A and B are shown apart, each in its own frame.
Chain A
Amino acid sequence: MRLLDPSGLEALRVALAGAPAPKRRLWVCGGPGCLASGAAKIQAALAAEVKAKGLGDGVGLRTDLTGCLGLCEMGPMVGVEPEGYLYGNVTVEDCRELVSETLLAGLPVGRLLANPDNPTRSEQPFYQSQTQLITKRFGKTIPGSIEDYLKTGGYAALGLAISKLGPLGVAERVEASGLRGRGGGGFPAGRKWASCRLAPGTAKYVLANGDEGDPGAFMNRSLMEGDPFSIIEGMTLGAYAVGASRGFIYVRHEYPISVERLDGAIKEAEKMGLLGHNILGSGFSFNLSTVEGGGAFVCGESTALMASIEGREGQPRVKYVRSTEKGLWDCPTLLQNVETWANVPIIVERGPEWFKSKGTKDNPGTKVFCLVGQVKYSGLIEMPLGSPIRTLVFGVGGGTKPGRRFKAVQIGGPSGGCLPYSALDLPLDFDSLSKAGAIMGSGGLIVMDDISCVVDVARYFTGFLMGESCGKCAPCREGLTLIYRILDDLCQGRGREGDSAVLEKLATNLARTALCGLGQSAGNPLLSTMRHFGEEYLEHELEGFCRSGRCQGLFWPDINPNLCVGCGSCLAACPTRVISGQKKEPHRIDLTGCVSCGSCIAICRFGAAKAIRKGGSQAARQADHQADLADPSKDAPKTNNIPTPQSVTKDPTQPAPKGGGQAGA
């Protein structure tokens, strides 16, 4: 059916909203992590079970894949509508029970509940602090279904724009909303729109950046796969406002499902007359297609992205003229992150004032974050901008894992910055973060605990960026290699006096001289860890000591008898079998034969195994043991919430690592 005018759209929306909803549905999470751990198989098994039982649409019972349910730590997840139960770690074997108990009878299956204390989603702290605007359809709609999108308020904004607002009205709403680009820099979207709208030229383009390449980030992917129509509607509104008739969504090569979903959604929208020629009879035409990236991190940079769409090698170019004036094929181009686009329909429909009521004055709206790393509940989280980091890490994420202390959080991906404990009350917004030496980036938060070594972390991120450096400009190509090598030397105990100072100078000059934004920010992990954990760099450099027990050979492991409960984990983990001790008695390490691998430190859930200086005195060691006890437990549960030895083998908060890797990065 092709919609011919805004009133036809409105009539369809009303009809769809009034259509009877299924009596009960099982929503299988189709987010990246859950899919990787077998969500599609679970959905198929559920559907087969429904069919076998002779239940179908006629009875109003359904099972479908939906967008990311967020609590990736517990994947694969299944949500129940309307009761709201949330199941975690579901397996194919559980499907029979899910259908007979929950789908048919509406009863919860206790052993599968993600949180037995709070069986429903709305009761869980993980969801309570969130404000879901962008992710509001996750768990409520079938991502590729335009009916579901229309039913949940979709295309209301486009109808309003064409029937009432007009192009200028749309642009004004976006400008008045104060929306800032969600891709990293937080550039005011309204300014970009105005610049592109006013740029001379008949051929203009709108682009969406879906080239998400940060390790541990999957918010753009979840959005493209969970609510593709919101991006498409946003881009249609953008094209309408600035006068573009062609658009591209640039999607990372590694996201084939995103490409498939977006392509499918584009086709659906075209069929309905919501994309293509003469949209809703307005005379405005807009064609949209996806472009699959070539697999380079650097293509997320705006000029490299455009080069890649043009069919050239994805490399940045020097940008002294904005792409809103001279972008794709030298035409005025409006490029926004997919999440920014998804905000546009909300703003246009609800108005700038409503949008500004979320978030803070200078940072209105929400942001989707990916919380990963050493945190209890990793996942996809949408919060109002300006929420304190603490709320995310400890409120929603549940804090660090048992026996571990929070050390730092890396915000904004590999070229973001590392913030320490003292920065936890910082509001998560563009300005506060950049003032603190981090960036919002695309919104990735990687939590590190006390066994993460900052030098090793800086080496990891620098190594990632070195491997992804396109090699065009000398500072990034050669400079990052040099920085990496010095960091590697430090981690391997080959540090030389003065290395820290050399590193700082290199990173500072790299930031000033590199050609593109990626090169300029590539020194951030190093500079920010150095700023907040400078003493650890000096320990590596001058003493060859790694206090985190991470850099092999730069420490001896030591077990604090006051904290050891004798659970035997370290004994089992030790590759050279130098740990001894009876169950429930403090264990001991015989350092002759110890290879200083840190396995015991990494596995200890009680904070008893620790790295100590090689050649340190016995007195210093004992003082250390005492200090450990006296140390106020920096949010890491030390006295309360400590798992008992019995619970070590099976701890509900510690599910076995599942495949996927994204969330577990």
Chain B
Amino acid sequence: MSQAITKVTGTIDGRGFSVPIGTTLLEAAKSLGLTIPTLCHHPGLPADGNCRLCLVETGGKLVASCLFPLRTDGEAILTQSPMVLEARAFTVRLLLSRAPEDPRLLELAREYGTGPDPRLADGADGCLRCGLCVRACRASGTEAIALVGRGRERKVTGPFFEPPIDCVGCLACARVCPTGFIDFSELPRSIWGRDFDLRPCPQCGRPVGTPEELRRAGVENPLCPSCRRLSYSRSLMGLPEASFSNPGER
């Protein structure tokens, strides 16, 4: 195929771009060094388009840039038009009602000149319902948690609103959470109301992961990442397996 067919061109805020067909608008903007605010987007996870913060204008309409595929030439996209700015202020105000103390949202609120709506104050629990945690859990093959319920009652939980029995304690959900809503402890390991054991590295004794997590990854008794690196480089250099067990020696 010639390049003319595989590439698509257009403008974002007047600046030209040329990207492979199917590139999302968000990626194209990034390639131009433009920032579009996002909350429910994570480059490592499938996009969902639910927070509606990344909406930009094209053809008189707003589209979610994290999902909009660039497929036709000549798209003239605006990321700072009055319609976009008004929509962002509207969305930030609504999201802020859920997490009124979140620094990132507060900064967005300042930027777009809005604040929380007092008539929605009762929903402020800190969770934006963006579902990044659910997507992270699913992507890692666990699916222990889900967004449950309709409308404003919707929330992240394990089955039957109980501690999720399939949770492996990997903390992936907590790491991607944009507001730090998910309560967890790294050492000792606990999350979603469940406590987990931690298996030590057979060489240095530092905690590697929970047994459930390691079983899911198909390894029972692995080395910690540092010891694994060390052991690998020793084998490359033809040295014998490390026999020390003193972490200080690494």
Chain A residues with a Cβ under 8 A of chain B: 296, 317-318, 320-321, 466-475, 477-482, 485-486, 489, 505-506, 509-510, 512-515
Contacts and interface: CB of A to CB of B under 8 A. Distances in A.
Given A318-B67, A471-B129, A509-B86, A477 B52 contact: no
Contacts of A466: 151-152
B87 A509 contact: yes
18 contacts: A317-B49, A318-B64, A320-B63, A471-B149, A471-B150, A471-B151, A471-B152, A474-B91, A474-B94, A475-B52, A475-B94, A477-B154, A478-B95, A482-B97, A509-B87, A512-B61, A512-B83, A513-B91
A478 B94 contact: yes
A146 B50 CA distance: 47
A531 B50 CA distance: 30
A514 to B, nearest CB: 8
B150 A470 contact: yes
Which range holds the interface residue count of chain B? 35 or more
A319 to B, nearest CB: 9
B214 interface: no
Nearest to A511: B62
B98 interface: yes
Contacts of A512: 55, 61-62, 83, 87
B112 interface: no
B90 interface: yes
Contacts of A515: 49-50, 52, 64
Nearest to A481: B152
Contacts of A470: 150-151, 154
Contacts of B250: none
Given A474-B129, A512-B83, A481 B52 contact: no
Main secondary structure of the interface of B (DSSP, over half): mixed
A329 B87 CA distance: 33
Main secondary structure of the interface of A (DSSP, over half): helix
B117 interface: yes
A467 B67 contact: no
A486 B151 CA distance: 17
B69 interface: yes
Given A471-B154, A477-B154, A482 B83 contact: no
B49 A318 contact: yes
Contact of B90 (A471, A486, A506): A506
Contacts of B55: 512-513
Interface in B57-110: 61-64, 67-69, 83, 86-87, 90-91, 94-95, 97-98
A320 B71 CA distance: 10
A499 to B, nearest CB: 10
B123 interface: yes
Contacts of A472: 48, 50, 147, 154
A475 B149 CA distance: 17
A482 B87 CA distance: 16
B50 A513 contact: no
Contacts of B68: 320
A479 B149 contact: no
A509 B69 contact: no
Contact of A481 (B48, B91, B120, B147): B120
A61 B195 CA distance: 75
A473 B52 contact: yes
A474 B51 contact: yes
A470 to B, nearest CB: 6
Interface string B143-167: 0000101111110000000000000
B129 A320 contact: no
Output the residue of B63, B68, B129 with the most chain A CB within 10 A.
Answer: B129
Closest 4 CB pairs of A and B: A471-B154, A478-B94, A509-B90, A469-B151
